[in-house]
Amino acid sequence: MAVTLEQAQRVGCVCLKALFRFAFMVANNLVAIPSYVLYLIMLQPLRVLDSQSFWYIEGVLFKWLLAMVASWGWWAGYTVVEWGDDVNAVSEDEAMVLVNHQATGDVCTLMMCLQDKGTVVRQMMWLMDHIFKYTNFGIVSLIHGDFFIRQGRAYRDQQLVLLKEHLEKYYRSRNRKWIVLFPEGGFLRKRRETSQAFAKKCNLPFLKHVTLPRLGATQVILETLVAPQENGTPAGGDAVIRESKPKGLQWVIDATIAYPRGEPLDIQTWILGYRQPMVTHVHYRIFPVKDVPAEPEALTHWLYQRFIEKEDLLTHFYETGAFPPPQGQTKAISREMTLSNLWLVGVQSFAFLSGGMWYCIFQYFYHCLF
């Protein structure tokens, strides 16, 4: 079939835009990530004198970096509509966020939709596949204190021990609030067949839009971060003493990401912007951690139920284009998530100005030395 002039022009325009966006992303990374590292190197004396202030500043810089990633999608027209519970109500509390995983764009979507949730982004910890350690953003996540988990049965027990040690060392010392993980342990397309075979063997529901989650990381997080009085029998002792300690993990937030027609965004699309503008939908449900069972078998059942419910939510969404209303209500209410273009431009400008400043400083010292 012959290609018309109009089609050729359209393809050329998309390619040119993608090339420009890629060049901007590369430049953005070349100035923003080194600047983040250099600022924190310069602030090491503050880390010794006042670690709380140091991690506050680090958190602000980290949020700005994630805002830059969010801006790449926002300016391409990849927006977010939110459904279900309003997580702003628990943004200052400690919470574990369970998210279904379809593609690399899931992380970018979360980076965008959590930007307007108070202090969440600067005080959150991510659990991600170890391969991300070797990406351009790996050094940032390492400094911030995210945990890179290696998948595979051979590594499972060791990784859970390392996760527990990591949480005990970094979570409270850096004043983290939310911890985000993908319990499925991989992308939907890679795990669906194995999950369905396991479900058939164990007489569990057949799932198409999610896979059965893994228990390990969720159990370690609950065991490590939940205060004793919040999960099971209340701890004894003086109430005044307990109030002086961290409240511990208080909520579990079940986040379900849905893409139109079930076609997820990947990081390449997010960067290059070659797909037409689209809306990603995120549905939240909030559970008090005191209602989450601690015993492994009961916790496994509870976790499976959450993902079976995700399957129902996604089935309804793909059939109707909307999530179902909450129980007892007749209509589901959606909220369009927005970002300020002026703020995004300010963050990007700060990154490039910082890059220019560091370049001038290095040039000055280079000429002084040589």
Report angle CA 356, 358, 360 to the nearest 5 degrees.
70
* pLDDT cut 90: percent of the chain above it: 76
Give the helix, strand, coil percentages of the chain, each rounded to 5: 55, 15, 30
> Is residue 129 very low, low, confident or very high in pLDDT (cuts 50, 70, 90)?
confident
In angstroms, how far is CA 362 from the centroid of its own chain? 34
Identify the pLDDT of residue 273: 92
What does the pLDDT average to over 320-333? 87
Residues 81-114 pLDDT 10s: 999 999 999 999 999 999 999 999 999 999 999 9
- DSSP string computed for 294-351: -SHHHHHHHHHHHHHHHHHHHHHHHHHSSPPPPTT-SS--EEEE---HHHHHHHHHHH
What does the pLDDT average to over 60-68? 96
CB 172 within 8 A of CB 246: yes
Return the top range by mean pLDDT from 8-17, 148-157, 280-289.
280-289
What does the pLDDT average to over 302-322? 95
Residues 6+ apart with CB under 8 A from 150: 129, 130, 159
> Is residue 229 very low, low, confident or very high in pLDDT (cuts 50, 70, 90)?
low
CA 100 – CA 183 distance, rounded (Å): 7
> Is residue 13 very low, low, confident or very high in pLDDT (cuts 50, 70, 90)?
confident
Among 145, 112, 172, CA closest to 340: 112
Identify the pLDDT of residue 232: 47
The pLDDT of residue 174 is above 60: yes
CA 171 – CA 211 distance, rounded (Å): 28
The pLDDT of residue 255 is above 60: yes
Identify the pLDDT of residue 242: 42
> Is residue 175 very low, low, confident or very high in pLDDT (cuts 50, 70, 90)?
very high
Report the chain's mean pLDDT, rounded to a whole number. 90
Identify the pLDDT of residue 313: 96
> Is residue 233 very low, low, confident or very high in pLDDT (cuts 50, 70, 90)?
very low
Q: Which residue did the predictor score with more confidence, 31 or 232?
A: 31
> Is residue 346 very low, low, confident or very high in pLDDT (cuts 50, 70, 90)?
very high
What does the pLDDT average to over 341-347? 96
What does the pLDDT average to over 267-291? 94
First to last CA, the chain: 63
> Is residue 1 very low, low, confident or very high in pLDDT (cuts 50, 70, 90)?
low
Identify the pLDDT of residue 310: 96
Using DSSP's 3-state secondary structure scheme, residue 188 falls into helix
> Is residue 234 very low, low, confident or very high in pLDDT (cuts 50, 70, 90)?
very low
Distances (CA, A) of 121 to 9, 21, 106, 176, 334: 40, 25, 15, 10, 22
The pLDDT of residue 64 is above 70: yes
What does the pLDDT average to over 221-237? 67
> Is residue 269 very low, low, confident or very high in pLDDT (cuts 50, 70, 90)?
very high
Specify the DSSP element, H or E, that contains 355: helix 341-369
CA 368 – CA 243 distance, rounded (Å): 56
Return the top range by mean pLDDT from 134-143, 250-259, 357-366.
250-259
The pLDDT of residue 320 is above 50: yes
CB 92 within 8 A of CB 246: no
The pLDDT of residue 238 is above 90: no
Q: Which residue did the predictor score with more confidence, 281 or 237?
A: 281
* Contacts within 8 Å (CB) and 24+ apart, 360-364: none
The pLDDT of residue 345 is above 50: yes
Identify the pLDDT of residue 265: 93
CA 169 – CA 45 distance, rounded (Å): 20
Identify the pLDDT of residue 154: 77
Identify the pLDDT of residue 243: 46
CB 66 within 8 A of CB 347: no
